[in-house]
Amino acid sequence: MSIQSISDKTTLNNGVQMPWLGLGVFESREGGEIENAIHTAFEQGYRSIDTASFYYNERGVGKAIQESNVPRKEIFVTTKIWNDDVRAGRTKQAFEISLEKLGLDYIDLYLIHWPVGGHFVQAWKDLEEIYQSGLVKAIGVSNFMVHHLQELMDSSEIIPTVNQVEFHPRLVQPKLRQFCKENKIQFEAWSPLMRGEIFSIPQINDLAKKYNKTEAQIVLRWDLQHEVVTIPKSAKPERIIANAQIFDFELKPEEMDLLDGLDNATRTGPDPNNFNF
Ligand code: NDP
């Protein structure tokens, strides 16, 4: 097992390094809540923050970063372009607004948030230009299925560095993961804790007891052993701290299989083939 500490990183297909563990901030409110969450995370050694223009908290993320003592070059910031901007062809403007709200002079990873049919290929071409300008270190996608990735790769120059999708023991997505692996696209899990639903799965309860860990720690460890980047969200300091304590134990191969076997294709979020926003 190669991932041994919170400072370990995956190397993306363009050579940029991205931490395996990050802090998700969807629904973390701007102001004290998000600033405290990020300060706690930095104290624990987290260096990656996952936001989006749609979360309406990029200013809060930027403020927390500016107030911290952590050097900018150690921090990895992901943000995303929202669907309305993709549809309207406002990629570059949307990027500039995110950059300004974050108060940064570059972004580490910029993602197309959803595969908006008929528009994502053009948005990707715009992202390629932003990437060439140096204002973003890596570009990628989110919620792309295999056919979306194929369509994108058939008509563009740069292969996405990352595909961030819903992933947890009830939605294991083996084919999509395999496709990403073959094409050197780093797979990244959103809603790794199934927004809390993993806590009532008996097999996960049993593993938590066995290892004297929480259900969240078991599932986040499973992500790492699958070499999946993971970004659990919490606004509670004690949970942010606990969610990072996943580097001192290892699940056995049969336990990995057991968790994989819980897959029943359940989504907590929208289906990327059928969303209406
Ligand atoms: P998660 O699976 O990370 O679950 C978050 C929920 O679990 C929150 O309600 C949190 O509550 C709770 N929680 C966190 N840690 C623990 C713990 N140790 N014990 C008990 N409860 C806990 O869901 P998210 O949907 O937030 O996904 C994570 C991140 O992924 C997002 O924040 C966002 O950055 C990204 N994302 C991306 C999407 C995309 O389309 N690209 C879609 C959705 C999410 P509390 O805060 O009160 O601790």
Active-site residue, 55 included: yes
- Using most ligand atoms within 8 A of CB, pick from 34, 111, 233 the residue to mutate for ligand 1: 233
pLDDT of residue 126: 98
Atom of ligand 1 nearest to the CA of 232: 3
- Using most ligand atoms within 8 A of CB, pick from 54, 187, 193, 223 the residue to mutate for ligand 1: 193
The CA distance from 263 to 176, in Å, is: 14
Which H or E run contains 165?
Answer: strand 162-166
Kindly give, in sequence order, each residue whose CB lies less than 8 Å from that of residue 105, ignoring residues fewer than 6 positions away.
99, 135
The CA distance from 43 to 70, in Å, is: 9
Q: pLDDT for 142-192, tens place per residue?
A: 999 999 999 999 999 999 999 999 999 999 999 999 999 999 999 999 999
pTM of the model: 0.98
- Tell me what the mean pLDDT of segment 90-96 comes to: 98
- Tell me what the mean pLDDT of segment 95-118 comes to: 98
Kindly give, in sequence order, each residue whose CB lies less than 8 Å from that of residue 70, ignoring residues fewer than 6 positions away.
42, 47
